[in-house]
Structure 1
């Protein structure tokens, strides 16, 4: 925590350090909430409600689909520049509705449970998607660029440590309690996390907002598409997330519905993934202080591909060992990918236009991330009558092979291209080279 201790003797911490500390404190109940409601247990809850693999795919894809609405956030932030107020209202509404999405099916006849969950969950993530633009813009201004890589590495490591504890505790709890009672406890704890999270929203500082220099909505939205480096990287990442979404979100579905593992082993596998993710956050964060986000982003790709291909080892090796290996790889890979993707958007784009870069990026990649799980859910439903190995490891093995080819052929050309650069603040046409 050296980042927070460096200050002159006798002086109060700067607004930057206070904001960085507030973001960590707020993130702890937030990650607990996301692990309880959006982690491995959401698949189990949906199966308990009677959801099909296709319906599970829809739920897993909702956050990505909602991200297409970040364009609205980019337009709103130019008019309502009180970023703290708007992100508190929108993200607070998301947290409350997300809990209600799980409570609603318990109050309705069983045949309406899955539909009610999907509808309320969609409403919840509308607020999250739009509010994320305000939050991302605010935190990008809160964290100085020279410490951004290390800070987010430390922050994510701390948060995912809390996530590991939540996964372990509730994995044991859901195995020991009958399913309705276990989920009742889970949603009660999630409701408490919502209250704490919203309280910490108010602890964020509210730095002045620098508005776009463009005149008119059309000109502002066109800026990201005129940036060659950003456009090529964004299109590639969208392709990657589409392919990845066919397999990775269904790891828990395969373990629960095909391998028939209990929540105890789901929790152990997920906790293994989270510990690996914590290590990945710290490792990639430190490397990001020396190397560009785009270059490091490329090196996460083979790790994610290997995690999908690793399912093929089930044909020859003990299942538990293979599952732990797969989750270690996916933890290190996706942890680095998500962190570096975020740093790429907030760190390698011009400050005044950052909200629209964020919105366009997450809108396009969100649509890709939505279509991937939809196709994955349809594939698992289509292969239900085929030999078990097809659903068990065949789909993931095929997706992993495609990911590795895409990384080698397209990813290397896009993310390792030294000729691409981003405009700096000193001049509209000045470019810098990435190392």
Structure 2
């Protein structure tokens, strides 16, 4: 007996079906990340530190610049209220992100426009204005993406997306390091900025394809009642304040790793790129693992698991006193990649998944403001400390700071983290 059913004439084979609306939206969000990744990788991290050193910035000025991006996150609270009044989140997002891309890429023109004595001041001015615009764009993008990605696939989707984009970022980072080693000084940075300008423009174009998804607005239409909602959520505030304290400690040293390696250890850009690539590769692998674990365990429990890993990466720097330099640095970067990959992914899932949907913009803004404030003071204080201990024995600058911070992070994780980041 033939049990096969004939296919209706008007049906199409499975491989020929049009993708669903959700699948199409996820594809757009993934492709948008490609030019954004190239743009950001070449303008931050080791390249940002190197460009600031080329402009003549001191360690305290570098710490200040690295901290600025998080300080302006405080403005997200106002943005979270104002977007409730917007007829369209998409076009506001496109506008603010475009402004950010234009202003940040304009920093590449500073050596051609300003006298040398104004290079650092001009950079700080453009950079600050760019990230004020980015603050609004970040709130809008996070709000849109949280509605685009269905909750049931959120952990796995962001795991895959982050893996792909960080893989691309690793290649770009290594290529950028080779360019700067081959073309010294301003010529190398000018080549990087040409690539940045091209991909910034591509990023703006792809943003236009985002759908203007329906926005479930807050039931409150006044600022103060809306502002108080996350403040009255005790579980949310407890977790957020703890994570803010953690980031304060972490950012005392981590943003200044590139400064230590470039200035104190005399590592070239290619080697520094390889270190960061190794960190990114293990971060990519961890995204998939953390994403799968997230389908079994809560965001907060997994966040707790990431903390000792990050602390261990800081403590490993102490082995520079007894082991070969590159072995220690590669080990530290790999461990940090595994830990911070999980931390960033799970913190994002926490604010878009463990918060009320209608009030999510204000919850996200409150999280960004509190963690941003602590992340601002971290590298700012760290940069000042490196300035104060400049005349101390070199080991205190190379790995002494990391040892102290690592011990403090372990104490915070085990004494307070286990009580705060527990399943309720």
Q: Does residue 364 of structure 1 match 2:361? A: no
1:301 to 296, 307, 320: 307
Q: CA, structure 1 residues 237+81, in 2 after alignment: closer, same or farther (shift >3 Å)? A: farther
Deviation at 1:25, TM superposition (A): 0.4
1:380 to 383, 386, 392: 386
**Separation of aligned partners in 1, 2:37 and 2:16:** 34
Deviation at 1:97, TM superposition (A): 0.6
Q: Does residue 62 of structure 1 match 2:72? A: no
The equivalent of 2:5 in structure 1 is: none
The equivalent of 2:85 in structure 1 is: 79
**Separation of aligned partners in 1, 2:381 and 2:119:** 23
**Separation of aligned partners in 1, 2:124 and 2:112:** 14
Question: Aligned to 1:379, what secondary structure does the other structure show?
Answer: helix
More divergent stretch after superposition (285-294 vs 156-165): 285-294
**Separation of aligned partners in 1, 2:71 and 2:20:** 38
Structure 1's consecutive aligned runs of 4 or more residues displaced over 6 angstroms after TM superposition are none
Deviation at 1:10, TM superposition (A): 5.8
The equivalent of 1:152 in structure 2 is: 158
The equivalent of 1:310 in structure 2 is: 316
The equivalent of 2:23 in structure 1 is: 17
Question: Aligned to 2:252, what secondary structure does the other structure show?
Answer: helix
Question: Aligned to 2:390, what secondary structure does the other structure show?
Answer: helix
Q: Deviations over 1:82-101 (max 9, x none)?
A: 11111111011111111112
TM-score scaled by structure 1? 0.93
Q: Deviations over 1:50-98 (max 9, x none)?
A: 1100000011111111111111210111001411111111011111111
2:270 to 247, 264, 273: 264
2:212 to 206, 211, 218: 206
Q: Does residue 125 of structure 1 match 2:147? A: no
The equivalent of 2:118 in structure 1 is: 112
1:189-228 paired onto structure 2 within 5 Å: 189-228=195-234
The equivalent of 1:425 in structure 2 is: none
**Separation of aligned partners in 2, 1:275 and 1:9:** 32
Question: Aligned to 1:38, what secondary structure does the other structure show?
Answer: coil
Structure 2, unpaired ranges of 5+: 1-12
Structure 1, unpaired ranges of 5+: 1-6, 420-435
Structure 1 contact 105–116 (Cα < 8 Å) conserved: no
TM-score scaled by structure 2? 0.95
Structure 2 contact 81–226 (Cα < 8 Å) conserved: no
Structure 1 contact 40–252 (Cα < 8 Å) conserved: yes
Question: Aligned to 1:385, what secondary structure does the other structure show?
Answer: coil
The equivalent of 1:29 in structure 2 is: 35
Deviation at 1:333, TM superposition (A): 1.0
The equivalent of 2:404 in structure 1 is: 398
Deviation at 1:33, TM superposition (A): 1.1
Deviation at 1:13, TM superposition (A): 2.0
**Separation of aligned partners in 2, 1:64 and 1:101:** 19
Structure 1 contact 43–253 (Cα < 8 Å) conserved: yes
The Cα RMSD (Å) is 1.2
The equivalent of 2:326 in structure 1 is: 320
Q: CA, structure 1 residues 152+81, in 2 after alignment: closer, same or farther (shift >3 Å)? A: farther
Structure 1 contact 15–205 (Cα < 8 Å) conserved: no
Q: Deviations over 1:317-355 (max 9, x none)?
A: 000000000110111111111111000000111110000
1:309-348 paired onto structure 2 within 5 Å: 309-348=315-354
The equivalent of 2:149 in structure 1 is: 143
- Higher CA-based Rg: 2
Structure 2 contact 108–190 (Cα < 8 Å) conserved: no
**Separation of aligned partners in 1, 2:241 and 2:115:** 43
The equivalent of 1:428 in structure 2 is: none
Deviation at 1:264, TM superposition (A): 1.2
Q: CA, structure 1 residues 79+262, in 2 after alignment: closer, same or farther (shift >3 Å)? A: same
**Separation of aligned partners in 2, 1:184 and 1:9:** 46
Deviation at 1:385, TM superposition (A): 0.4
The equivalent of 2:97 in structure 1 is: 91
